[in-house]
Amino acid sequence: MNAAIRASALRRAYFRLALGLSPAPVVVWLIGHGQPLAAVLLFCTVLTTMMIGTLVPRCAMFGPMIKHLPPSGKQVLLTIDDGPHPQHTPAILDILDRHHIKALYFLVGERAAQHPQLVREIIARGHEVCNHTQTHPATTFWMLRPVRLWQEIASCQETLTTLCPEHPPRFFRPPAGHHNLFTALIAQTLGLKMMMWSARGFDGVRTDVPTITRRIASRLKAGAIVLIHEGTPVAVEVAQAVTSLLAASGLKGDTPPASLAFGDDEMVVERRHAP
């Protein structure tokens, strides 16, 4: 990436940071002028807005993202996060082959560098590799300053492009879906579109495969983007259950077209349904 382009993106990112912090002096001024209630109200409003935009994965407040495919047709998109994994990736690839489903693999750069043959095998079997950061800092990614966030996304892009130069990633997904003021800006500068999901079963934190599958089934429809994970205790079982579900649904699981555009930017607050 051209150094001038990187510098320009970081300048814009820090400008956004400055705008985000701009209410702080107003809060201090209000307190100093005997208006603590107004200060608290402003502080809570800004903080709540920032937290919603940052921690709600499908909230497009800070930049455009893809949350679903076009509703026409019968296509769905299966996305698999957190690989490659030395045991799970080969097993899941075989499962996908049996059901004639193509998927998007959101890979962690350092794991891809450790298992380059798996990355190439994913491509060879007709799937697509995507950017899921270099080190997958799931608990801290949303609070990274612009230069560190750039390093995470750009390093993964370089790793995957080096391994598969004819198939560079075109989509990015932040760890746990958490993003901040700068994420979409930096991703777009690196030529990436940010992609979230519309159907997930929380298999990253749960191990009850029937419940995970039911949650995905409840949101499975034409245009859905389905999220599952590698590296969990039930990764292969979930992959088998979800691919069987897709096959039985009559929907077609394939990689997205080159022309896939950003979805609408409405704010979406996900609710976790009870088992």
Cα 91 → chain centroid: 23
Q: How far is CA 110 from the centre of its chain?
A: 17
Which 8-state DSSP code applies to residue 44? H
Which residue in 85, 127, 179, 229 is the catalytic one? 229
Distances (CA, A) of 116 to 72, 84, 92, 97, 235: 36, 9, 17, 20, 20
6 in helix, strand or coil? helix
For the question of residue 132 being annotated catalytic, the response is no
Residues 266, 60 contacting (CB under 8 angstroms): yes
Spatial distance between the Cα atoms of 165 and 252, rounded to a whole number of angstroms: 28
HSE-CB for 156 with a 13 A CA cutoff: 34
From the list 81, 88, 132, 203, the catalytic residue is 81
Is 100 designated active site? no
Which amino acid, one-letter code, is at 85?
Answer: H
CA–CA distance, 215 with 228 (Å, rounded to integer): 12
Residue 247 — φ and ψ, nearest 5°?
-60, -40
Q: Are 196 and 57 in contact (CB under 8 A)?
A: yes
- Catalytic annotation, residues: 81, 229
